[in-house]
Amino acid sequence: MISQVLVVDAQESILDLCAHTLTKLPETEVFSAKNPKDAVQRLQKEDVDLLVIDTQFPAEQTRELFRVARQKDPNIPILLLTDTVSVKAAIDCMKLGSADYITKPFFPDDFLSTVRHLLEAKRLREEYKSLQWQMVRSHSLDG
């Protein structure tokens, strides 16, 4: 199964770095957008397994992107890219509903490891849900 990752950042160099780094993950397709508006349009056309977004966009645009992403998939992991290294920044990222954050500039291996972890966690949650559904169906057919 191919994992689809949407990276949203205004800096072309970050988009290129993320795309290049993610080519190391097998069966991963990367989409990019330079702003939340373009990302929303992409989300309306594509199913995405992970959303990576820079925190430098205006808060209302970021919230709208989160809303659309969560509306389409309530369990989509969101990885925030931030320039700020502080406890407050980490708390703010989590309050926005992100699964994790990574500070820029970042080491490609750290980014890759975080993305791999988030995609694997999502895959396991979906597998668990599927198994639960199968158990419910098999028990309801037995009774």
Q: Tokens for 38?
A: 């373009």
| 20-29: pLDDT as tens digits | 999 999 999 9
| 35-66: pLDDT as tens digits | 999 999 999 998 999 999 998 888 889 889 99
Burial class of residue 118, CB neighbours in 10 A (0-12, 13-18, 19+): buried
**Length of the chain counted residue by residue:** 143
Q: What pLDDT is stored for residue 85 in this prediction?
A: 67
From edge to edge, which strands make up the β-sheet containing 3-8?
28-33, 3-8, 50-54, 78-82, 100-103
Say what the pTM is: 0.86
Q: Give me the residues of the chain with pLDDT under 50, please.
A: none
Sign of CA dihedral 111, 116, 119, 121: negative
